[in-house]
Amino acid sequence: MNDHRRLGRELGLFDTDPLMGAGLPYWLPDGAAVRHALEEYVRDAERRAGYQHVYSPVLGKRELYEISGHWSHYGDDMFPPMQLGEEQMLLRPSLCPHHALIYRSRPHSYRELPFRMAELGGMYRSELSGVLGGLTRVRAIQLNDAHVFCTPDQVAEEAFAALGMIRAAYDAMGIEAARYRLSLPGPGGKYVAGPGLWERSAALLREVLDASGVAYEAVEGEAAFYGPKIDVQIADPAGRESTLSTVQVDFHQPERFGLHYIGADGGRHRPVMVHRSVIGSLERAVAHVIEVHGGAFPPWLAPAQLVVLPVSEAETEPALRLVRRCRDEGLRARLAAPEEGTLGARVRAHRLVPYQAVIGAREAADGLVALRLRDGRRLDARPADEVLHRVRERIASRGAEL
């Protein structure tokens, strides 16, 4: 079974050290390359969709989370406060309160809305050490988060567009949603008051799900404390479900933070906050991609996209030149030198790399590259220009095709 914890260690993607602490994995270079490719993808997709990126700190004053409601509704999952002089500081459990303050820092006209604010930012959760493991139960989380501040009329369109971004990202990553869930409040949960607003939010999300044509189930007891949400569920190889992506409609936090915009009538109006995450946390997204592909990542996500294998020492120099050239052209390329073993052993050792370029005497003399693809296909020796052009095109398309 493709357990991401085993593969993560075997493939040298991430690891943990008891001295850093449980639930605090670190990323090795190959894992960081996968994560970085995903981050680039999501930032690019967000820019194209009209999002603007911000940065905000990973901690804030306790008062901030009292206003947002996190301290009273979510405090059990937060790290204890740090006393700093007269103040208490908290590691943040979410990015929402910071984004609300950033919105509030400048006046806004209805003409600027929707204001789509995005950040790949850190947040923290004080999970018990007994449940920690791999990249899926962690205490430090890097979230692909965004908040769309919009008028009530714009909510459905924004939530619908967010669902479209989620589906496009899943296609690129080669993963599938196990289930779409409309998460509603349930008995016994901690929720903020305002039942009228809950019904309004839930109705909007239902409308969005119906319009998008996906099958979904409404489940009670899974809502956020401030509003209902659409959860996109993924399943691990053992069939265990978890939430990767979400779209939430929130009338509560704009109220708590006193957010407003100036409407066409010149008056002050309350915006709605649509919280959305396309690929969820980078930790969970990478864990899932590892398990789905068993380490044979789509070319655009592969830690090494092309490996160059000189047949013998005599071809090491031209092979190195090809590696440098690939890197110049933005490819993640590496050399598998003859001292690593026989050609056959090196081909096997790098079998997960999408493209292998074997450089023998003829290729070295004529400047040719004979490409082997991960699926076993071999392409005829062609000029390096042509071969690299083909590889770059496949990677840029962000498909699964080699």
DSSP characters over 57-112: -SEEEHHHHHHHSHHHHHGGGSPPPEEETTEEEEE-S-SHHHHHHHHHTS--BGGG
How far is the C-alpha of 287 from the C-alpha of 297, rounded, in Å?
A: 12
Give, as ranges, the residues between 350 and 379 that touch Zn ion (CB under 5 A): none
Minimum distance from residue 156 beta carbon to Zn ion (Å)? 18
The smaller minimum CB distance to Zn ion, of residues 102 and 368, is found at 102
What are the tokens at 226? 């401030």
In order of 28, 175, 182, 216, the CA distances from 235 in angstroms are: 25, 10, 17, 15
The smaller minimum CB distance to Zn ion, of residues 248 and 305, is found at 248
The smaller minimum CB distance to Zn ion, of residues 94 and 316, is found at 94
Give, as ranges, the residues between 248 and 277 that touch Zn ion (CB under 5 A): 275
1-14 in b/e form (b: 16+ CB < 10 A) is eebbbebbeebebb
The smaller minimum CB distance to Zn ion, of residues 96 and 155, is found at 96
Minimum distance from residue 145 beta carbon to Zn ion (Å)? 6
The smaller minimum CB distance to Zn ion, of residues 122 and 263, is found at 122
DSSP characters over 217-256: EEEET-SBTTB-EEEEEEE-TT--EEEEEEEEEESHHHHH
Site map 45..84 versus Zn ion, x via CB under 5 A: ----------------------------------------
The smaller minimum CB distance to Zn ion, of residues 8 and 93, is found at 93
Minimum distance from residue 249 beta carbon to Zn ion (Å)? 11
- Per DSSP, 379 falls in state P
Minimum distance from residue 292 beta carbon to Zn ion (Å)? 27
How far is the C-alpha of 148 from the C-alpha of 155, rounded, in Å?
A: 9
Interface pick for Zn ion out of 96, 224, 308, 331 (rule CB under 5 A): 96
The smaller minimum CB distance to Zn ion, of residues 121 and 354, is found at 121
> Candidates 27-35, 58-66, 89-97, 172-180 — which segment interacts with Zn ion by CB under 5 A?
89-97
The smaller minimum CB distance to Zn ion, of residues 16 and 246, is found at 246
Minimum distance from residue 248 beta carbon to Zn ion (Å)? 7
Give, as ranges, the residues between 221 and 240 that touch Zn ion (CB under 5 A): none
Minimum distance from residue 148 beta carbon to Zn ion (Å)? 10
> Which strands form 87-91's sheet, in the order they lie side by side?
59-61, 87-91, 82-84
Minimum distance from residue 86 beta carbon to Zn ion (Å)? 29
Site map 275..304 versus Zn ion, x via CB under 5 A: x-----------------------------
> Candidates 60-68, 96-104, 114-122, 235-243 — which segment interacts with Zn ion by CB under 5 A?
96-104
> Candidates 90-98, 185-193, 324-332, 379-387 — which segment interacts with Zn ion by CB under 5 A?
90-98
Q: What is the helix, strand, coil percentage profile of the chain, to 5?
A: 40, 25, 35
Q: Do you know the residue count of the chain?
A: 402
How far is the C-alpha of 204 from the C-alpha of 155, rounded, in Å?
A: 8
Count residues near Zn ion (CB under 5 A). Answer: 2
By the 8 A CB rule, do 300 and 398 touch?
yes
Footprint on this chain of Zn ion (rule: CB under 5 A): 96, 275
